Each structure stands twice: as structure tokens, then as C-alpha cells.
Amino acid sequence: MSQAVRVTDLLAAARAASGFMPDDEGRALYEAARDVPVPGPLLEVGSWMGKSALYLAAAARETGRRVVTVDHHRGSEEHQPGWEYHDPSLVDPAVGRIDTLPRFRRTIAEAGAEDVVVAVVARSETLAPLWSTPLALLFLDGSHTEESARRDQDAWVAKLAVGGTLAIHDVFPDPADGGQAPYGVYRRVLASGEFEELPDTGSLRLLRRTT
């Protein structure tokens, strides 16, 4: 099977996978990861059941990189009982808590992406102090509370290489369209003067690190 077919299959698997990323945003994420001009891995904060990881995996397959996904797989606030996106089928009855890791692993395995996706089961702020490799692309899509979004920003943005790409999902300037925590990350990053904006797609914002 040719590399082009494998990449096409990964993109098709990404479109079909369960998750919250529209295909136009997923394709934009894939293209940003494919085209990033500096060496290094691709790192995703917040993986849910693996949909966005497959878009990144397609780029990694095409360019010879690896994708590292960081998620505790216990779900964000909105996934807990009584909240809007709670799915009882994801609760592990042995511990009574959300556990998306089995679904994530199945998504990656069924797509044939286990060779390019490295899953780390941990909170992002726990892994970050142990991480020293400059990142080519950082995708922030973790919990969307103000506290956790700031924590992810503080933990990981400084690890992005100059020339690398920062991707932020669910950025909604209008509060009527969605939560404001990712938008706050986007505004703070821009205000730092260390990034320039790239074309956006839907709620996905892309920025290139310049200094």
C-alpha cells in the first residue's frame, strides 16, 4: 500500500471517528501539521477518543514524525455526570469514573496508526516538567475551564520551537457561540508578541512562533 493511500485512509478514519472536530477544522489541523517547517514531534493536549489524533497521525505518517497525545482520559468537566456531554457508556463501573482510554486505543488501532501515535496517560501539567524536546506543533484542546486552559498554556507553549505552529481549538470570540477559555489563551498568546497569526478555519486558530 502506498504512503498516499495510507494517509488518505487515516483522514477517512478521522472523519468517521467519534469526536467534536468538524472535518474542515480537522483538515486544517492536518495541513498545519504536515506543513510545519521545523523538526520535532507533534503534541496534542486533550485527546478524548482519538479523532483529532488521527488528523495529526495522517500528517505524521506523511512527514515521518510522531504524535504524542497527553490526556488523563477521565473526561473534562462537561463530560461528568449531570453535564451536557456526559456519556454513561464511558463510565468504568469498577471505579465509577469516565475512562475514554479503551475507546481511544481502539480508534488508533483500527485506523492503523499505532506506529505514529504515542499515548501518554497523564495530566498535561504532570508531564510538562518532564518534557524537554522542542515541539514542531502544539495542539491545545484540553479542558475548557479558565483555570485548566491557563494551566495548559503555561505548561506547554514555551516548549514550542521557534518556527513551530500552535493550534488552539474551540476559539469563540462571541460568548454566545461557546466558552471563552480557549479564546483567552489565543488572546494572551497573541499579546506576547512571540507569535504571528496563520489563516484560521472555524473555531481552530493557528499561530506561528516567531521568537
Q: Which residues are catalytic?
A: 144
| 44 Cβ contact list (under 8 Å, min separation 6) | 52, 53, 56, 67, 68, 69, 70, 139, 141
Q: Which residues pair with 71 in a beta bridge?
A: 121
**C-beta separation of 134 from 125 below 8 A:** no
C-alpha dihedral, 58 to 107 to 68 to 185, nearest 10°: 90
* 7's grid cell: 494517509
| 82 Cβ contact list (under 8 Å, min separation 6) | none
* Dist. CA 172–CA 165, nearest whole Å: 19
Amino acid at 91: V
**C-beta separation of 207 from 189 below 8 A:** yes
**Complete DSSP assignment for 84-106:** TT--GGGEETTTTEE--HHHHHH
